[in-house]
Structure 1
Amino acid sequence: MKKRVIAMVLVGGRGSRLENITKKTAKPAVAFAGKYKLIDFVLSNLSNSNIDTAGIITQYEPHELMSYIGHGSTWDLDINDGGISFLTPYTSMDGDLWQKGTAHAIKQHFRYIDQYQADYVLILSGDHIYKMNYTQMIEDHIAVDADVTIGAFHASKNASRFGIITATNDGWVTNFEEKPDHPKSNLASMGIYVFKREVLRQLLAENEQENVDFGHDIIPLAIHKNKRIHVYRFNGYFRDVGTINSLFKANMELIDNPQLLKLHEYVDSPVYTKSSNLPPHHIGKQSIIHNTLISDGCLILGDIYHSVLSSSIVVEDGALIRDCIIYEHVHIGTGSVLKNVIILDHTRIPPYTRIECDKVKVIDEDYLKQEGYQHE
């Protein structure tokens, strides 16, 4: 069945700067705000934009993510003529076709794009936090007859972490530098692209490098080939949580200002997530809870300040938690004091453990053993 637009969602990167958080899972499966996973945002955006066909390109540690997404029913993407398709590395007569870059991953699965005879290809990363109607970007792309459109935002800080765009007043891109040491502007790529299908095919075919990436290779090549490259400026909330500090900060700022992401606005742009069948959280009579997000299935008997708790967490009496992110199935023993830490899934904090950090630290069972914390 022919589709006007299909999406290709890149979820195969390791996210190595997140260290142990992505040791056993793909970055898009990382939890956010207690209730969500990063992949929820891009899939919800697709659903809210009425884009019903998406190829999910996996590679690194895909099992948890694939199980979580399933057929896509949570995001209303489980349709017969399209829906969700997982596109994995495979073996062919040419050998093992491992993906060696973002653009190389698209090239390996171009037959999927051709299968739907798509006029336009929307390329997305599955690990960013934002709410966006892609329809507006696509219509802008069509209206100006662009070959390529790049989604962009104004990076107020750390612009050198992004691809930096130079554009004319009417939005035509004249230069693009991937993660420059000295950025010439603060107009930063979101890693969101709309391509005419045949333009994308041509650019992928003409690039002779193996480790092909959109920022490093394809966009500069498109500029060199004088393609019509337009920028779509996005003025909403956008976060790339590729480091431990940026992930921690994004969670904390959501506590401080829920209106940044407007997760409680269900009508126009809801963020869907796959919910577990768990009871409501329970807070003890003597507990003090202040400015904290608590998910279902938690039993809270201690005191918690300015923190984010995922589901099925036990906090025993006398425990004190401040400025922390705690993932699922964590047990925190009585009398423990925790500050400025991210505690990974299935970690048991022994009673009377004290971990107070000036810089954010990731805690798991291996860390506890290494540091000599003993379970009773």
Structure 2
Amino acid sequence: MSKPNSEVMAIILAGGKSERLSVFTEKSALPSLPFAGKFRIIDFTLSNCVNSGLDDIMLLTQYRPLSLNEHIGNGKPWDLDRQHGGVRIVSPYLGRKEGGWDKGTADAVYQNIEELLEENSDNVLILAGDHIYKMDYSKMLNFHLENKADATIAVIEVPAESASRYGIISVNKKGEVEDFEEKPRRPRSNLASMGIYIFNKEVLISVLNRDAGDPNSQHDFGRNIIPLMLDNGNRVMAYAFKDYWRDVGTVQSYWEAHMELLESPPRLDLYERDWVIYTRSQERPPAIVSSKAHLERSLISHGCQVRGTVIHSVLSPGVIVEEGAVVRDSVIMGDAVIGKNSVLDHVIVDSEAVIGANSLIGYGEDNTQNKLEPRNLHTGITVIGSRAHLPEGVKIGRNCKVGHDLRPENFGQLELPSGGTIEAR
């Protein structure tokens, strides 16, 4: 960890509801979802902070914050359990300027403007809690200070064909931001905002106050705050980031980010000793692989018991793969059980789910999109909710959704065609 930096405080936005992750964010905040077996998504942003020497962190929660609060606790795994600074978890409460839930990313910060005014730091670092990457924020801060910027936005080049999914930035030869468009139909560049901003604190407070009084504003940093600063003539710089970064806000991107860990070499190195990703770990026994097991290019976490075949997949702690079972191109979360002789292909299984013996999950070539969630489930991935207990011999196609807490008796028949959904009534 680097030396503490008192010139900037960090605010992590971890309260948004992400409906595009289907069943996985129905009961949990996105930043608390498992990633790469033993980690949570929030671990990457928090670890980036401490590795960058930042120890004054405010984490803003909102949607289903319980699991996130339990995971972070007093911040000890990140060395953030301190009397001064450290990590403070803040949720919406009555008695703030308007009370109620935050209306947008900028409003989440505005609702805590009193805390911001009390801070001694001259600059504020705004971060998203749902991205996977390693970044030294101190380098971005130095760039911000050297350019005497009112705001600095971290940007990354994205493929031109996918640029319309992001906030797109146009810059001049000096690296100054000239235009910011949120998810434009016809992007003018391929520089995408990473949702990482450094603001001069006084300028930020002034702009937040102006935006709060605009009834037509969505109170969003990308849509409203940055364009307002550009209209005001503020100096806004773009800071180019060249390394791995992944927004995991959809089922497909969450799955892809896991598969990228299995490349050789992986796009994100989890084994780098000078940039450790810290987390709160449970005490588990070592993983065990039986003599009948077969493993190919997979991540196996502590506490796993593998007696079947695991190919190009990621297993979280405590997963059991029984004899004859095959797990292929899949992500299995903590304490899930894959029954004997079952086959899973392109499946994401939530924690404590049980797949009955002799089942086929994600079978066939029919790629019919999910009828209830076509926007979320259309790439062939089938999702299984937490604590769902699937009966023996069930057949489930692609782009299917199986809800939380189902029991075998909830399945009226043993086959769910591609694009189907079954949930508890």
TM norm. shorter chain > 0.5: yes
Partner of 1:227: 234
Q: Is the 8 A contact 1:6 1:113 kept in 2?
A: no
* Residue type of the alignment partner of 1:223: L
Q: Distance in 2 between matches of 1:348 and 1:51?
A: 41
* Residue type of the alignment partner of 1:168: N
SS at match of 1:104: helix
* Partner deviation per Cα, 1:125-182 (whole Å, 9 max, x = no partner): 0010110000000111010100000001001252111110000122100000011111
Partner of 1:153: 156
Partner of 2:287: 281
Where in structure 2 are the equivalents of 1:347-366 lying within 5 Å? 347-357=353-363, 359-364=380-385, 365=388, 366=402
* Partner deviation per Cα, 1:205-227 (whole Å, 9 max, x = no partner): 11113630001110111111110
Where in structure 2 are the equivalents of 1:1-376 lying within 5 Å? 3-92=6-95, 96-156=99-159, 157-207=161-211, 208-209=214-215, 211-267=218-274, 269-357=275-363, 359-364=380-385, 365=388, 366-367=402-403, 369-370=410-411, 372-373=413-414
SS at match of 1:92: coil
Of 245-254 and 256-265, deviating more is 256-265
Q: Distance in 2 between matches of 1:185 and 1:354?
A: 44
User: Which 5+ residue runs of structure 1 have no aligned equivalent?
Assistant: none
Q: Is the 8 A contact 2:328 2:344 kept in 1?
A: yes
**Alignment RMSD:** 1.6
Alpha-carbon distance, 1:257 to partner: 3.4
Q: Is the 8 A contact 1:3 1:116 kept in 2?
A: no
Residues 94 and 123 of structure 1: CA distance in aligned 2, closer, same or farther (over 3 Å): closer
Q: Distance in 1 between matches of 2:208 and 2:57?
A: 20
Q: Is the 8 A contact 2:341 2:358 kept in 1?
A: yes
* Residue type of the alignment partner of 1:278: R
Q: Distance in 2 between matches of 1:43 and 1:263?
A: 15
Q: Distance in 2 between matches of 1:285 and 1:186?
A: 50
Alpha-carbon distance, 1:93 to partner: 7.4
Alpha-carbon distance, 1:371 to partner: 7.0
Of 335-344 and 252-261, deviating more is 252-261
* Partner deviation per Cα, 1:292-343 (whole Å, 9 max, x = no partner): 1010111111111000000111111111111110001101111101101001
Q: Distance in 2 between matches of 1:69 and 1:23?
A: 20
Q: Distance in 1 between matches of 2:175 and 2:97?
A: 41
* Residue type of the alignment partner of 2:220: D
Q: Distance in 1 between matches of 2:353 and 2:17?
A: 22
Residues 297 and 93 of structure 1: CA distance in aligned 2, closer, same or farther (over 3 Å): closer
Q: Distance in 1 between matches of 2:98 and 2:210?
A: 21
Q: Distance in 2 between matches of 1:144 and 1:372?
A: 64
SS at match of 1:71: coil
Residues 373 and 73 of structure 1: CA distance in aligned 2, closer, same or farther (over 3 Å): farther
Q: Distance in 1 between matches of 2:101 and 2:83?
A: 29
Residues 249 and 176 of structure 1: CA distance in aligned 2, closer, same or farther (over 3 Å): same
* Residue type of the alignment partner of 1:306: H
Q: Distance in 2 between matches of 1:234 and 1:371?
A: 51
User: Which 5+ residue runs of structure 2 have no aligned equivalent?
Assistant: 368-379, 389-401, 416-425
TM-score normalised by L of structure 1: 0.96
Q: Is the 8 A contact 1:99 1:105 kept in 2?
A: yes
Q: Distance in 2 between matches of 1:115 and 1:149?
A: 22
Of 365-374 and 269-278, deviating more is 365-374
Q: Is the 8 A contact 1:353 1:373 kept in 2?
A: no
Q: Distance in 2 between matches of 1:93 and 1:129?
A: 32
Q: Distance in 2 between matches of 1:140 and 1:363?
A: 44
Q: Which has the higher contact order (CA 8 A, sep 6+)?
A: 1
Q: Is the 8 A contact 1:336 1:351 kept in 2?
A: yes
Q: Is the 8 A contact 1:291 1:307 kept in 2?
A: yes
* Partner deviation per Cα, 1:52-106 (whole Å, 9 max, x = no partner): 0111000000000011011111111112111111111010176533100000000
Q: Is the 8 A contact 2:262 2:312 kept in 1?
A: yes
How many residues matched?
372
* Partner deviation per Cα, 1:258-312 (whole Å, 9 max, x = no partner): 4411111112x11112111000110110111111101011111111100000011
Q: Is the 8 A contact 1:324 1:340 kept in 2?
A: yes
Q: Distance in 2 between matches of 1:219 and 1:350?
A: 52
* Residue type of the alignment partner of 1:249: E
* Partner deviation per Cα, 1:29-48 (whole Å, 9 max, x = no partner): 11111121110100000001
TM-score normalised by L of structure 2: 0.85
Residues 158 and 3 of structure 1: CA distance in aligned 2, closer, same or farther (over 3 Å): same
